[in-house]
């Protein structure tokens, strides 16, 4: 009996030691990961990415109940060293009272020129282009870049190291984020709509509205152990707003927004080739800002 108890105790001790190692022992501190990820930004030259996003908005009202759903599936590559970019995106938008919209987009930035193709069932593929200044390029990088806004979010967030996992064959540290909500929401809307929030007529959420809203969220980030490059992001958020919070106290009902975003970033600093499709050469000039 004594030998069995001793063997069981040894087995239990081994299990506990492995559990501790996986959850905390030997892991860097949150500040070390923040510092490593911040410094790693300066070393990023190229990377590829994938983004899956869904946004659902519902308004419960006796007069005009509303539900809208936006879903996007994107992939692409950034070549910061040569100021080139390519992205493909499938977008679906459905809303109460409107026809469902399916759209495919291709976006290229090559040789100081931006090219965009929009393909809908009504129009077919239509290409446009616009010359980009240095300021335009910087603005585009700020809008479409994946790692930078998430690293900036770390600098003002509460960060907890929760373990390590392998993502796409890369050993990663996993952190849980409690961010500044306004900054978090800005990133959510930027990457959920790729800057098209106004065109989709999504409501603007101000600081005052956030203060009066009810919300829940979760956010995790994965960083490569050897380079501290951002490898994966998972974001989930539910935002509940009353008419009073939106500045319409005389109205009845409630609005709920659910947002889920999953991001993968990989192949950092690997050689990339971005080739413009032949049909883009015949693109017409875009008269307004790109």
Give the sheet arrangement for strand 113-120, strand by strand: 158-167, 170-178, 214-224, 230-241, 254-266, 46-60, 66-79, 84-95, 101-110, 113-120, 124-131, 284-285
Residues forming a β-bridge with 166: 171
132: closest CA among 85, 187, 170, 77?
Answer: 85
pLDDT at 290: 41
pLDDT at 167: 96
User: For the whole model, what pTM was predicted?
Assistant: 0.80
Q: Interhelix angle for 147-156 vs 30-40, to 10°? A: 150
Mean pLDDT by 10 residues, the chain (290 residues): 36 31 67 94 93 87 79 92 91 84 91 90 90 82 78 86 96 92 73 56 63 81 96 90 65 80 95 91 70
Report d(CA 122, CA 57) in Å as an integer: 26
Report d(CA 235, CA 282) in Å as an integer: 39
pLDDT at 44: 93
CATH no. for 29-285: 2.50.20.20
Tell me the two tokens of residue 113: 């020129």
Query: What residue segments make up the domains of the chain, in order of their start?
Result: 29-285
pLDDT at 136: 82
CA torsion 263→269→271→276, rounded to 10°?
50
The SS3 call for residue 245 is coil
């Amino acid at each position: 009996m004594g030998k069995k108890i001793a063997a069981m105790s040894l087995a239990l001790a081994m299990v506990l030691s492995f559990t501790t190692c996986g959850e905390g022992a030997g892991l860097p501190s949150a500040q070390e990961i923040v510092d490593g990820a911040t410094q790693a930004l300066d070393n990023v030259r190229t990377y590829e990415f994938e983004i899956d996003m869904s946004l659902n908005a519902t308004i419960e009202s006796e007069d005009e109940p509303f539900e809208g759903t936006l879903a996007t599936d994107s992939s692409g590559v950034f070549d910061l060293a040569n100021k080139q970019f390519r992205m493909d995106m499938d977008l679906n938008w459905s809303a109460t009272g409107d026809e469902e919209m399916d759209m495919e987009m291709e976006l290229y930035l090559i040789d100081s020129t931006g090219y965009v193709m929009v393909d809908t069932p009504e129009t077919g593929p239509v290409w446009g282009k616009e010359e980009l200044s240095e300021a335009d390029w910087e603005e585009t990088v700020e809008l479409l870049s994946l790692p930078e806004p998430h690293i900036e979010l770390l600098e003002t967030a509460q960060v907890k190291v929760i373990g390590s996992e392998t993502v796409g064959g890369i050993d990663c540290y996993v952190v849980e984020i409690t961010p500044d909500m306004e900054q978090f929401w800005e990133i959510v809307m930027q990457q959920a709509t790729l800057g098209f929030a106004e065109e989709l007529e999504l409501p603007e959420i101000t600081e005052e509205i956030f203060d009066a809203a009810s919300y829940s969220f979760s956010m995790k980030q994965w960083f490569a152990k050897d380079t501290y490059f951002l490898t994966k992001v998972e974001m989930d958020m539910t935002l509940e707003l009353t008419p009073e919070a939106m500045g319409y106290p005389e109205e009845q009902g409630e609005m709920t927004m659910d947002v889920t975003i999953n991001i993968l970033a990989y192949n950092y600093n690997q050689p990339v080739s971005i080739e413009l499709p032949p049909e883009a050469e015949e693109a017409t000039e875009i008269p307004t800002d790109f």
